């Protein structure tokens, strides 16, 4: 049995103002085979720009409130609510509450892969090292 100590995992700033707390908690790096879990926090003035993933994602608000967009829909979600993001759907969110927004993202893949609107390259994090 493997126990993962999240407090020992370093944080990482992906873009200015977007910080992954406890980094990617579960991924190929921690020997996961089919999913990854990421907790992130972001400053109020920073939006998570429109992007998509090749796999299903579940976004959960752990603390705070966010405006979330999924394709042409926009909704406000807050602590204790989740949204299922279908594969390939353009989505993003921004902090709209009075508290710092903390989100958890669970992906149906052991690494993080995303395409961002207006950027030709695909971002990949925590993929297994190639032999």
Contacts of 111 (CB under 8 A, 6+ apart): 27, 28, 36, 124, 125, 126, 127, 128
By the 10 Å C-beta count (0-12 exposed, 13-18 middle, 19+ buried), 117 is classed as: exposed
Between CA 20 and CA 93 the distance in angstroms is 15
Please answer whether residues 111 and 66 qualify as being in contact, where contact means their C-beta atoms are separated by less than 8 angstroms.
Answer: no
pTM for the whole thing? 0.84
pLDDT digits (tens, 9 = 90+) for 83-126: 999 999 999 998 898 888 889 999 999 988 889 888 888 877 76
Q: What is the mean pLDDT of residues 25-31?
A: 85
pLDDT digits (tens, 9 = 90+) for 5-16: 877 777 766 655
Contacts of 25 (CB under 8 A, 6+ apart): 4, 6, 9, 37, 38, 39
Q: What is the pLDDT of residue 45?
A: 62
């Amino acid at each position: 049995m493997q126990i993962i100590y999240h407090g020992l995992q370093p944080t990482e700033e992906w873009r200015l103002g977007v910080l992954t707390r406890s980094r990617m908690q579960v991924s190929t790096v921690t020997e996961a085979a089919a999913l990854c879990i990421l907790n992130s926090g972001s400053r109020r003035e920073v939006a998570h720009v429109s992007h998509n993933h090749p796999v299903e994602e579940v976004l959960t608000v752990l603390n705070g409130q966010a405006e979330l967009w999924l394709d042409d829909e926009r909704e406000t979600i807050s602590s204790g609510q989740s949204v299922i993001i279908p594969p390939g759907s353009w989505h993003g969110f921004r902090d709209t509450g009075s508290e710092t927004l903390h989100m958890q993202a669970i992906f149906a893949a052991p690494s993080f892969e995303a395409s961002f609107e207006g950027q030709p390259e695909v971002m990949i994090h925590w993929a297994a090292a190639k032999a």
